[in-house]
């Protein structure tokens, strides 16, 4: 385990590299960062091979799932996306961008690609970065720094990756002591602990507990083909990262009045999950999740209908209230009288609702987004893209560069 | 077959096995018979049975099901007693609906006699609410029955979530062998409140049960046992853990009173079948390998004989000791995991 002195040295090293980083044109940094990710995306290159070799063990995901996640993430994190992010960060005339002297990023272990957006954004903003990766899985951030070093050693020096067990106060304090901004992915308990240790002048960007939900409006259930398309798309959302992500759907509401009702649609979703189980098999089930799965499926079978197969289950439970799924591809389908009621159903989730997947076209998404109650600000994403946010997607309703820089007004 | 006839067969088997005798073939046959009887009367059980063929011949009802639907072989108007779980973060409480308490009483008395009170009645001190204060607590009900079966005198020193320290100290000043029985969190309250140690007379014992459920600070089982031993002046071998749950009618106790040298494990009564199962296939794990604990309890005639818990356990066929159970704790489930979930409390009604 890293010691406090070494950690402080690494923090100082990252801060020292900040001057070189800030001296670079933002567009150049964007191209170099995108190129580093590109090395990992490419299964023929050494970083890409290493990712595919090491991630199945550290994440518990199957190799096909790893390959899918890398492809799905990096096709949206290419050079064009990075250049667009750089462009959007450029302040309006009359203002200058003042990057954070150091940003700290504390990652969780549930979705291994969660580091991509915050790492890219910090470097684009000109803020050196220290990443505290999950002690169980630090593969992708480590590979990123290695890939960056292959491309541009000076730039790589602005990104340090460390791991140590959570709940180590002296190390956590050392990690955050020099950071102007601390971005945290983790449980609400983790956020609370970090908040208590943060200096009053540092900015906390919290990414706490969360979940996704899905909606199939009757407008997306005009016929069998539309309903099947929605089922195919949502099946991918459920299967992605084995439903361990904070954007993964736990429930999918199906509006009444379409050509296909919720009960039948649940069986269509089950069919698609069965197909995905062959192409993108689920990882091994941990014992604690197995216990929760037995309970969750038991309730579904006892009070509703349960479709289950090798590594997945779909329940249909009528108009019951949402039950949290144990993840690992267990999802419930519920009836919804009117899509306009979805806002009321979601209000109690508040900031925990990270993503609302909606089947159908953009007009349906706009209509649903307009009905959301105050305090609820999920990504409203097309079905099939719930776990595939773009590099520029808002994170918890905030710009992805939240806290990474302030603006100096030129008066 | 009528309930009465089936209950009589179960009662006879409990009586026959009460002294620790084993007849697993008779137990298993009667379990199958009871499960078949329940399947035609308990709707959730019938639905679970339709789900897939169970490796043990009939399904075990997951404990969460008791929170969402009624699991009973009789209509609500025939409930003699409804025991409720202590709730979860969402506030939903499971309900175990009992039509007649005879089997519950018979099983509870038989195993407590063997595990705790083989020396006969003694003074009882309870660190748990009186049954009149907690009429839906199966633990309080059982402890109330203990007064009738095993008590020469009874003191209740825990009420409305608070320990009556003065009453407890007074109850511990005695020359008569005493059994102190209560929940683990109440014993922690007592540890925090009592200012001195006591020396209960030889033959005294302590029974502790249950976890902490956020009601007190958590203390590791070994540490709590050592603290209790020192506090009350009873050897650690006479500090006995009880394992029970609202959804069950039978209880299990650590076997340390009758086998003080053996590893600390829970004894499984002869009318109960414990099986560690695979979480995905529900198939029994080999003897001695850990799995999720399924408990088939013949005394559960009014609900479901098969109960699937979330507890990780190892079951051993332990020769002369009969079957024993080693608990590894509650499986934590998928809650705080990365940025995923622990937000059931945010979800409103259920």
**What is the ipTM score, two decimals?**
0.88
Extended strands (E) in A134-191: 159-163, 181-185
Best interface-test mutation with A: which of B281, B340, B343, B348 has the largest number of A CBs within 10 A? B340
pLDDT at residue B88, as a whole number: 55
> Cβ contact (<8 Å) for B68 and A291?
no
B2 touches chain A (CB under 8 A): no
Q: How far separated are the first and last CA of chain B, in Å rounded?
A: 36
- pLDDT tens, residue by residue, B241-257: 999 999 999 999 999 99
CB contact under 8 A, B48 and A325: no
B293, closest residue in chain A (CA to CA):
A291
When pLDDT is averaged across residues A130-152 and rounded to a whole number, the result is 95
User: For the residues of A333-371, what is the DSSP string, one character each?
Assistant: EEEES-GGGHHHHHGGGGGGEEEEEE-S-HHHHHHHHHT
Residues 102-141 of B with CB under 8 A from A: none
Substitution target in A105, A285, A294 with the highest count of B β-carbons within 10 Å is A294
Q: Which pLDDT tens digit goes with each residue over B159-213?
A: 888 899 999 999 999 999 999 999 998 999 999 999 999 999 999 999 999 766 6
Q: Which candidate, B50, B60, B52, B37, places its Cα nearest to that of B275?
A: B60
List the single residue in B with minimal CA-CA distance to A185: B339
Q: What is the pLDDT of residues A19-72, one digit of tens each?
A: 999 999 999 999 999 999 999 999 999 999 999 999 999 999 999 999 999 999
Q: What is the average pLDDT value for chain B, to the nearest integer?
A: 89
Cα(A196)–Cα(A6) distance, rounded to whole angstroms? 23
How many Å apart are CA A87 and CA A373, to the nearest integer?
32
* Mean of pLDDT over chain A: 94
Cβ of B342 within 8 Å of Cβ of A186? The answer is no
B207-248 residue pLDDT tens: 999 766 656 677 888 999 999 999 999 999 999 999 999 999
**In which band, very low, low, confident or very high, does the pLDDT at B345 lie, cut at 50, 70 and 90?**
very low
Q: What does the pLDDT average to over A233-239?
A: 98
Compute, in degrees rounded to 10, the torsion defined by CA atoms A145, A149, A151, A154.
110
CB contact under 8 A, B336 and A295: no
Q: Rounded to the nearest 10 degrees, what angle do helices A116-125 and A79-89 cross at? A: 50
Q: Which residues pair with A398 in a beta bridge?
A: A395
The percent of residues in chain A predicted with pLDDT above 70, rounded, is 100
Nearest to A234 by CA among A272, A278, A283: A272
What pLDDT, in 10s, does the model give residues A80-105?
Answer: 999 999 999 998 888 889 999 999 99
Confidence of residue A190 (pLDDT cuts 50, 70, 90): confident
The pLDDT, as a whole number, for residue B337 is 30
What DSSP letter does each residue of B234-258 carry, written as one string?
--GGGEEEEE--TT-S--EEE-TTT
Q: Is B289 on the interface with A (CB under 8 A)?
A: no
Of A295, A296, A324, the CB nearest to B341: A324
Q: Which residues of A touch B278 (CB under 8 A)?
A: 290
How many angstroms separate the CA atoms of A376 and A348, rounded? 9
Separation between Cα atoms, residue B350 and residue B339, nearest integer Å:
23
Give A255's strand partners: A336
What is the pTM assigned to this prediction? Answer: 0.91
Residue B214 contacts A where some CB pair is shorter than 8 Å: no
Closest-CA distance of chain B to residue A153, Å: 31
Cβ–Cβ contact B186 with A under 8 A: no
Interface with A, mutate which of B334, B346, B348 (most A CBs under 10 A): B334
Q: Which of A107, A118, A122, A117 is nearest to A59 (CA)?
A: A107
- Model pLDDT, residue B335: 34
For residue A312, the cross-strand partners are A309
**What average pLDDT does the segment B267-289 reach?**
94
B29 or A166, higher pLDDT = B29
User: Is the model's pLDDT at B43 over the cut of 70?
Assistant: yes
**Does the pLDDT of residue B85 top 90, yes or no?**
no
How many C-beta atoms lie closer than 10 Å to residue B287's C-beta?
13
pLDDT at B338: 27
Cross-chain residue pair A291–B44, CB shorter than 8 Å: no
pLDDT by residue (tens digit) across B63-84? 999 999 999 999 999 999 999 9
- Are the Cβ atoms of A352 and B336 closer than 8 angstroms? no
Contacts A208 to B, Cβ<8 Å: 339
Q: Cβ of B63 under 8 Å from any chain A Cβ? A: yes
């Amino acid at each position: 385990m890293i010691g406090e002195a070494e950690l402080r040295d690494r923090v100082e090293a990252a801060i020292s590299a900040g001057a070189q980083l800030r001296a670079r044109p933002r567009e150049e940094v964007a191209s170099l960062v995108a190129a580093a990710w590109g090395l990992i995306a490419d299964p023929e290159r050494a970083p890409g091979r290493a990712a595919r070799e090491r991630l199945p063990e550290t994440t518990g995901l199957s190799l096909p799932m790893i390959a899918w996640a890398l492809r799905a993430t990096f096709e949206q994190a290419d050079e064009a996306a990075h250049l667009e992010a750089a462009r959007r960060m450029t302040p309006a005339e009359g203002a200058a961008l003042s990057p954070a002297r150091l940003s700290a990023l504390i990652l969780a272990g549930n979705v291994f690609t969660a580091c991509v957006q915050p790492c890219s954004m910090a470097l684009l903003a000109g803020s050196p970065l220290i990443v505290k990766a999950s002690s169980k899985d630090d593969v992708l951030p480590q590979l990123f720094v290695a890939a960056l070093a292959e491309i541009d050693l000076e730039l790589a020096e602005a990104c340090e990756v460390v791991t140590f067990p959570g709940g180590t106060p002296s190390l956590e304090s050392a990690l955050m002591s020099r950071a102007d901004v601390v971005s945290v992915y983790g449980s609400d308990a983790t956020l609370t602990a970090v908040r208590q240790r943060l200096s009053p002048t540092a900015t906390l960007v919290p990414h706490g507990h969360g979940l996704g939900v899905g909606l199939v409006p009757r407008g997306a259930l005009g016929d069998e083909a539309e309903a099947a398309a929605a089922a195919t798309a949502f099946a991918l959302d459920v299967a992605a990262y084995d439903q361990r992500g904070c954007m993964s759907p736990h429930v999918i509401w199906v509006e009444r009045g379409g050509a296909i009702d919720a009960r039948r649609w649940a069986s269509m979703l089950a069919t698609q999950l069965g197909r995905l189980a062959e192409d993108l098999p689920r990882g091994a089930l941990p014992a604690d999740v197995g216990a929760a799965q037995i309970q969750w499926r038991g309730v579904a079978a006892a009070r509703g209908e349960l479709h289950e197969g090798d590594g997945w289950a779909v329940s249909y439970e009528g108009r019951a209230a949402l039950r949290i799924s144990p993840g690992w591809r267990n999802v419930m389908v519920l009836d919804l009288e009117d899509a306009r009621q979805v806002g009321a159903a979601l209000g109690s989730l508040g900031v925990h609702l990270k993503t609302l997947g909606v089947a159908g076209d953009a007009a349906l998404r706009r209509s649903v987004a307009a009905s959301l109650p105050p305090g609820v600000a999920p990504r409203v994403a097309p079905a099939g893209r719930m776990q595939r946010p773009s590099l520029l997607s808002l994170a918890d309703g905030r710009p992805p560069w939240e806290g990474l820089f302030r603006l100096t007004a030129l008066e | 077959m009528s309930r009465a006839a089936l209950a009589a067969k179960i009662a006879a088997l409990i009586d026959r096995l009460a002294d620790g005798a084993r007849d697993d073939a008779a137990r298993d046959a009667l379990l199958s018979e009871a499960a078949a009887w329940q399947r035609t009367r308990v709707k959730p059980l019938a639905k679970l049975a339709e789900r897939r063929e169970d490796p043990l011949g009939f399904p075990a009802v997951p404990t969460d099901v008791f929170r969402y639907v009624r699991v009973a072989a009789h209509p609500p108007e025939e409930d003699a007693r409804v025991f409720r779980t202590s709730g979860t973060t969402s506030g939903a409480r499971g309900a175990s609906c009992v039509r007649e308490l005879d089997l519950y009483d018979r099983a509870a008395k038989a195993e407590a006699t063997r595990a705790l009170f083989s020396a006969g009645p003694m003074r009882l001190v309870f660190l748990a609410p009186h049954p009149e204060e907690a009429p839906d607590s199966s633990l309080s009900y059982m402890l109330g029955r203990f007064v009738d079966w095993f008590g020469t005198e009874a003191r209740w020193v825990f009420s409305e979530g608070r320990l009556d320290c003065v009453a407890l100290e007074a109850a511990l000043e005695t020359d008569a062998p005493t059994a102190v029985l209560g929940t683990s969190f109440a014993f922690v309250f007592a540890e925090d409140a009592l200012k001195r140690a006591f020396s209960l007379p030889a033959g005294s014992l302590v029974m502790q049960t249950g976890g902490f459920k956020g009601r007190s600070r958590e203390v590791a089982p070994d540490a709590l046992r050592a603290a209790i031993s020192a506090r009350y002046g009873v050897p650690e071998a006479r500090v006995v853990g009880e394992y029970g749950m609202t959804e069950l009618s039978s209880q299990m106790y650590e076997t340390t009173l009758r086998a003080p040298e053996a590893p600390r494990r829970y004894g499984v009564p002869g009318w109960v079948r414990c099986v560690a199962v695979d979480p995905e296939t529900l198939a029994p794990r080999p003897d001695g390998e850990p799995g999720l604990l399924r408990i088939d309890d013949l005394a559960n005639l009014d609900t479901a004989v098969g109960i699937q818990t979330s507890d990780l356990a190892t079951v051993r066929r332990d020769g002369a000791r009969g079957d024993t159970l080693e608990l590894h704790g509650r499986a934590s489930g998928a809650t705080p995991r990365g940025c995923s979930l622990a937000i059931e409390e945010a979800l409103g009604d259920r």
